[in-house]
Amino acid sequence: MRTHLRPALALLLGFSILTGVVYPLVVTGIAQLALPKQAAGSLVTENGKVIGSTLIGQAFASEKYFQGRPSAAGNGYDAAASSGSNLGPTSAKLQGQIKERLTALQATNPGVTVPGELVYASASGLDPDVSPAAAAFQIPRVAKARGLSHEQLNELIVKNTHKRSLGFLGEPTVNVLALNRALDTLKP
């Protein structure tokens, strides 16, 4: 038994060190060298203080700001609770949440079709982006709260819209944190 146990333990220890220590350190080192901002979480700082990340959505409660997709993560946009709600399409709780969100959005912009992404949470619950249409839907509310023109806000959305990757992959998106930071620089 010792003849079989000794090599098995040596292999276990060796592969544990290789895959549990060496490999993660090498990959982290390469990431830090090649993409330092992304490897550090794409954090956004203002006056030396971290105010968010371009990779994780956050709540903007004020009417003066554009809002992202609803979060299914338990406590707001808590990355530790990242997941979908696991509520199925026949769930009364999910239908109630959707109806509540839809009613609130229609009240701020009556007579206009509400983009689905502002009603339904993303799969991760942390989506930092919305479509240009979802951002445009919010223009009347933000314009009224800030005393800005619809044209100023539409121009801001266009400037902050990320095109499709390679011209054909994905959909155009607007990062809500970046849009709101740019919004803070506008004057009525």
State pLDDT tens for residues 5-24: 999 999 999 999 999 999 99
Q: Which regions of the chain does DSSP assign to beta strands (E)?
A: 43-46, 49-53, 129-130, 161-162, 173-175
Q: Please report the pLDDT score of residue 8 as a whole number.
A: 94
Dist. CA 137–CA 113, nearest whole Å: 8
Q: What does the pLDDT read at residue 30? A: 95
Structure confidence by residue, pLDDT tens digits, 78-93: 776 676 677 888 889 8
Residue at token pair 């808590």: 78
* DSSP at 93: H
* Residues 140-155: tens digit of each pLDDT: 999 999 999 999 999 9
Write phi, then psi, for 56 (nearest 5 degrees): -125, 130
54 within 8 A of 177, measured Cβ to Cβ: yes
Spans in the chain with pLDDT lower than 70: 74-76, 80-81, 83-84
Q: Where exactly are the structural domains of the chain?
A: 1-40, 43-183
Q: pLDDT value at position 187?
A: 78
- If you average pLDDT over every residue of the chain, what do you get? 90
Task: Give the pTM.
Answer: 0.79
